[in-house]
Amino acid sequence: MGLEGSFAIAEAVRMVNADVISAYPITPQTHIVERLAEMIADGELDAEFICVESEHSAMSACVGASAAGARVFTCSAGQGLELMHEVLYIPASMRLPVVAVAANRALSGPLSVWCDHSDAMALRDIGWIQIFAENNQQAFDLTVCAYRMAEDQDVLFPAMVHIDGFYLSHVTEDMELPAEADVADFIPDYEYPFVLDPAKPVSMGCYGPPFIYFEAKMAQNVAFEASKSKILEVWKVFKETFGRSYEPVETYRMEDARTALLTMGSISESAMLAIDELRSEGKAVGLIRLRLWRPFPFAELREAVKNLDCLLVLDRAISYGMGGPVCGEVKAALYDKRQDLAIVSYIAGIGGRDVTLDEFKYMINRGEEKAQLVTLGEELEPEIIGVRE
């Protein structure tokens, strides 16, 4: 069936039978909450919809509801995620399985409602499981999976699904919706173990002076890193149940590739077309897509690049004075094991600027030349694609 990305996500939230939805409108996330409000108004979903007065309160209400045992949902974008930023650390440190969708959007100023990954890159250290979707089917599937990951009793961390604003949120694509009963089996009712309940009082969110704060944060990090095996398990069960496969790092036509492009989000699908064309011209090139952004998939990334001479990393955000943030992380992740690998940085698609097929082909072709310079020891600045000078 044909479904807009936003509506696909609303369907996922309906099928997992969320109890509390708390959200504030911001483009390009609005269609998700509008559809959810309709579902509640029509009795298709039995949930409390808290129409809060800000994104800060949206996440705060989710935190309160989750601590009281509810299955919750919120979504936001760009400036909204920035306003929410302070609160995002709370469910991660208090181990609350909040699920959120980010419809990725550029940050002001100038004001822009269009897509890039600036907002996502500002959220790297919030302690949430973070997953990138490339199309509407994935947006649906990964939202459903996010609940199972977050609510696993050995995980109990919040999870965020990133979709590209407009490219997914406002585009209708053909997709498959599973049977509601199958989703209900996949996401059963859960009981939060430390729920706010007068029958068994707990103190949540206490004050941590220096003698104990560090230990609390270490415990959080150890538990977060351990969540990766559960994330893999969820995707394994999802594949067995629904037939679609997800992995922390996914590859495309990498069989004999010596050069590969690395992407995240919807841009990956355009990149595949470029890989197909270059392959038909006889070039041994492939594509690597980072699906799981946090916890970072070190082992899977190393495995994916093991036969490469040249890796081209495409960032959809700028870290001012530093370059492409994803490229920086990829370099750091590979430094210990693959100092022989030439890594080239590109920045494109900022503030909704489309990246064309020719630009992808240029990046890959030019990347191989640049890689030779890198091998010779030359230090290269990130190359900016598609900007007027």
Partner 1 sequence: MASMRGEGERNDLEQAAELFTPLLLTTDENFAPGHRACIGCGEALAVRHVCKALGTNVIVVNATGCIEIFSSLLPQTTWRLPWIHTLFENVGAVVSGVESAYKARIRKGKIPDRGVKFVGIAGDGGTTDIGLQALSGALERGHNILYCCFDNEAYMNTGIQRSSSTPYGAWTTTAPVGKHSIGQMTWKKNMPEIVVAHRIPYMATACPSYPLDLMEKVQKGLETEGPAYLHILSVCPTGWRCAPEETIEFGRLAVETGIFPLYEVINGDYRMSLDFPVLRPVKDYLRRQGRFRHLTEKDIDRIQARVDEDYAKLREKAGVK
Residue 113 phi, psi (nearest 5): -95, 0
- Considering only residues 111, 179, 184, 204, which one is a binding residue for partner 1 as defined by CB under 8 A? 204
Q: What is the distance, to the nearest Å, from the Cα of residue 15 to the centroid of all Cα atoms in its chain? A: 21
Dist. CA 340–CA 323, nearest whole Å: 21
CA dihedral 371, 373, 376, 378 (to 10 degrees): -110
Dist. CA 387–CA 130, nearest whole Å: 29
The contacts of residue 384 (CB under 8 Å, 6+ apart) are 346, 347, 348
Please count the residues of the chain: 389
Q: Please say which residue, 87 or 350, places its beta carbon nearer to partner 1.
A: 87
- Considering only residues 25, 34, 37, 48, which one is a binding residue for partner 1 as defined by CB under 8 A? 48
Nearest CA-CA partner of 157 in 294, 265, 14, 56 = 294
Q: Please say which residue, 93 or 356, places its beta carbon nearer to partner 1.
A: 93
Dist. CA 351–CA 242, nearest whole Å: 35
61 touches partner 1 (CB under 8 A): yes
- Considering only residues 110, 201, 243, 282, which one is a binding residue for partner 1 as defined by CB under 8 A? 201
- Considering only residues 86, 154, 180, 276, which one is a binding residue for partner 1 as defined by CB under 8 A? 86
Q: Where are the beta strands (DSSP E) in 234-316?
A: 249-252, 259-263, 285-290, 292-294, 310-315
Q: Please say which residue, 86 or 154, places its beta carbon nearer to partner 1.
A: 86
37 touches partner 1 (CB under 8 A): no
Beta bridge partners of 160: 100, 130
Question: Where would I find the H helices in 78-135?
Answer: 78-93, 118-121
Min dist CB 225 to partner 1, Å, is 17
43 touches partner 1 (CB under 8 A): no
Q: Please say which residue, 54 or 229, places its beta carbon nearer to partner 1.
A: 54
3-state secondary structure 363-381: HHHHHHHHHHHHHCCCCCC
Q: Please say which residue, 212 or 332, places its beta carbon nearer to partner 1.
A: 212
Dist. CA 131–CA 222, nearest whole Å: 19
Min dist CB 18 to partner 1, Å, is 9
Dist. CA 381–CA 280, nearest whole Å: 30
Min dist CB 181 to partner 1, Å, is 17
50 touches partner 1 (CB under 8 A): yes
Q: Please say which residue, 185 or 215, places its beta carbon nearer to partner 1.
A: 215
Q: Per CB under 8 A, which of residues 65..84 are in contact with partner 1? A: 65-70, 72
162 touches partner 1 (CB under 8 A): no
Min dist CB 217 to partner 1, Å, is 10
Q: Please say which residue, 21 or 168, places its beta carbon nearer to partner 1.
A: 21
CB neighbourhood size of 389 (10 A): 3
Q: Per CB under 8 A, which of residues 211..230 are in contact with partner 1? A: 212, 216, 219
Q: Please say which residue, 90 or 304, places its beta carbon nearer to partner 1.
A: 90
26 touches partner 1 (CB under 8 A): no
Nearest CA-CA partner of 103 in 132, 68, 77 = 77
Nearest CA-CA partner of 107 in 294, 319, 291 = 319
Min dist CB 295 to partner 1, Å, is 19
Place of tokens 């199958």: 182
Min dist CB 73 to partner 1, Å, is 12
Give the count of residues interacting with partner 1 (CB under 8 A): 51
379 touches partner 1 (CB under 8 A): no
156 touches partner 1 (CB under 8 A): no
Dist. CA 294–CA 130, nearest whole Å: 5
Q: Please say which residue, 179 or 216, places its beta carbon nearer to partner 1.
A: 216
The residues binding partner 1 (CB under 8 A) are: 19-20, 22, 46-48, 50-54, 56-58, 60-70, 72, 86-87, 90, 93-95, 189, 194, 196-209, 212, 216, 219
